[in-house]
Amino acid sequence: MKNIAIYGAGGFGRETALLIHQINAQQPSWNILGFFDDGLATGSVVDGLPVLGGMKEAKNHVGSMVIAVADPSTRKHIASQLTDKDFPIMVHPTAQLGAAHYNSIERGCIITAGVILTTHIRLAEFCIVNLDTTIGHDVSLGAYATIMPGCSISGNVRIGQGVLLGTGARMLQNISIGDHATIGAGAVVTKDCPPGATWVGVPAMPMKKSK
């Protein structure tokens, strides 16, 4: 089995450790060395795994690594400091990856339990697609996009870089979500969302700023 460490020991990091254990239950593949996390003391224990240190120690890590941090900008910042590392694609055994000849999944992506992909789908590097999300035909996800649990992305949708889709969000067909936009939980997006915007509601509209 190959050695692997998880960057981030928060909720999603612990879920990712579980995902790797579940991969190993199907076919032994990974030896989890522990977590890297800048907010925890080296040597402390999280879900039975040791904290190996923070960024300084991660830079000296030998072996594969997975960045299990949900926030897109934080994930990008971490990856930018670990450019020489091996970041495998992590796929839960119950995920359906769709048409292998037509779909493209780049390094560092994490695809969790119950996810369904169909055909002609591209996931750029370091995307997270969380529990029970469905992604339809001809969809592209930009680098570092985070799709929270229970989302539905219809056909011909473009999700830009660093986008965050909140839990249960719905994307109707033939729309684009601009880079670094945030879509609120439960929102239904019916038209193009510009870069950097935050949209909420049904149908989704720009979030009003507090006075």
CATH number of the domain that 36 lies in? 3.40.50.20
Question: Would residue 45 count as lying in a domain?
Answer: yes
Query: Is residue 152 located within the same domain as residue 181?
Result: yes
Helix (H) or strand (E) holding 80: helix 72-80
Give the strand order in the sheet containing 152-153.
Answer: 116-117, 134-135, 152-153, 170-171, 188-189
Note if the pTM is more than 0.75.
yes
Q: Is residue 207 part of a domain?
A: no
Q: List own/partner pairs for 127-130 with CB under 8 A and 24 or more apart.
A: 128/12, 128/70, 128/75
Task: Look at residue 190 and tell me if it is in a domain.
Answer: yes
- Domains identified in the chain, total number: 2
Q: Which domain range does residue 41 map to?
A: 2-80
The answer to the question of residue 171 being in a domain is: yes
How do the pLDDT tens digits run along the chain, 211 residues long?
899 999 999 999 999 999 999 999 999 999 999 999 999 999 999 999 999 999 999 999 999 999 999 999 999 999 999 999 999 999 999 999 999 999 999 999 999 999 999 999 999 999 999 999 999 999 999 999 999 999 999 999 999 999 999 999 999 999 999 999 999 999 999 999 999 999 999 999 998 766 5
Q: How far is C-alpha 62 from the chain's CA centre?
A: 23
Residue 208 lies in a domain: no
Residue 211 lies inside a defined structural domain of this protein: no
